[in-house]
A and B are shown apart, each in its own frame.
Chain A
Amino acid sequence: MWPLTLLNSAQNKPLSVELKNGETFNGHLVNCDNFMNITLRDVFQTSADADRFWKLNEIYIRGSTIKYIRVPEKLLDEVKEDQHRAREAQRARGGHAGGSRGGRGMPTRGGRGGTRGAPMRGAARGRGRGM
């Protein structure tokens, strides 16, 4: 599993972020991006020496300043299960649509007249290969 996958699914979950300078931020994840820049809400900030505390409504943290993030332990199993279910669903879908690549895109397009285009293209290709 990718670390960013885990972080993405931690939205609205409580996190604890320690920065390289030792400060920690405890709050709920609002959003994050691929650089691990994050925004937290309802935050408690703790100084590096754990002597001083601040309460913040929201904070944006640059990913490069982060040392590590502590995530609720059960989140890992939840995400693993989600991934497993998604994979199963994909396999099921690929299973009966002969060409899973076309099969996935078809239904939406097929709704508005794609039905005409698709078989034509398929037939043309079939003939070409035959000759």
Chain B
Amino acid sequence: MLIFSLFKTLTDQTVTVELKNDLSITGVLKSVDQFLNIRLDNIKVLDEARHPHMMAVKNCFIRGSVVRYVQLPAQHVDTQLLEDATRREAANQAKR
């Protein structure tokens, strides 16, 4: 849930998504859902010469289950806040 919230704060930022088939796609994060499915706008595939398959694709929906990494813009991630939120969540879970 925390990661879902984090992604929501990053809408309209540029991210790079690396898929489990080694394909990397850079684009503007448009939306994300509970499964961490991702909508990217204005996409660019890394190593375009080897991947002409998506030449005519401008925006896409990526299934959350095939994402290996998402490279985030560091300046837009408040890690201190994230750490605190993580601790809070862990504490809440321990209480239950």
Query: Quick check: do A and B touch in the complex, using CB within 8 A?
Result: no
A residues apposed to B, CB below 8 Å: none
